[in-house]
Amino acid sequence: MSNDAYALAEDAAERLRARTAIESFDVALVMGSGWVPAADALGTPVAEFPVTDLPGFAPPAVDGHAGRLRAVRVGGRNALVFLGRTHLYEGLGVDAVVHGVRTALAAEVRTVILTNAAGGLRPETQKVGDPVLISDQLNLTGANPLTGARFLDLTEVYSRRLRALAREVDPSLAEGVYAAQRGPTYETPAEIRMMRTLGADVVGMSTVLEAIAAREGGAEVLGISLVTNIASGLAEGTLDHEEVLAAGRAAASRMGHLLATLLPKI
């Protein structure tokens, strides 16, 4: 990322402090497609406003992404909640995709929770509405938020400690590998077969670049995918975005309880 992008994140963090009257935040949550109802379970916001009120943020371009930012006090923690994200397929570049995470890091966040809607690659064990803790990732986007000779160890992108805490809240949670591709097209059946062979369990169009940026900044990362559809070629029918949003609404209560219970433990 360029020095200008770092400076823009610092500017956004300063504006964030002014808008919320909160000097620093403990945890940031990025809510994926259909996850906005789950965010409501975290409690009444201390502050809420459009992300575009801060420097460097683009307006929302996808249904199910509200394009708003909330500050919420949860279990003694100051939580920064991004209701939506920028995706690589929007064409705004990698810096725009990771700008929210970089802003959170500049606001002293050291725990980042990344959520997403995902296609399930293991219909033999998964059903629509199942949450999956991300244990590792396959970055198939062809992009990276780091440039130049900046070598980052990614042995543990997603924190074992945080996954264990999540399973204390919900012992039924499964784990899996998240594969990300650029989008906006859904995957072909052949691509899904390839990803299954590579070891992926869920697939989507986000998260991996944000996770890399968070780890580069020294934050612990927890990733949670919500299976909102069975991937192409593994079930009857075609895929559409409304199916994704409907699955998110149906799972909102369970996901909201998980997040609200988990945050005080972090």
Name the residues annotated as catalytic.
Answer: 33, 65, 87, 89-90, 117, 205-206, 229, 241
Q: Which amino acid appears at position 236 of this protein?
A: E
Peptide bond before residue 184 is cis, with ω within 30 degrees of 0: yes
Whole-angstrom distance, CA of residue 189 vs CA of residue 231: 8
Whole-angstrom distance, CA of residue 212 vs CA of residue 46: 29
C-alpha dist (Å) from residue 57 to 24, 27, 183: 19, 19, 20
Please give the structure tokens belonging to residue 245. Answer: 């949003």
Pairing of strands 111-120, 202-204: antiparallel
What residues are paired with 111 via a beta bridge?
27, 220
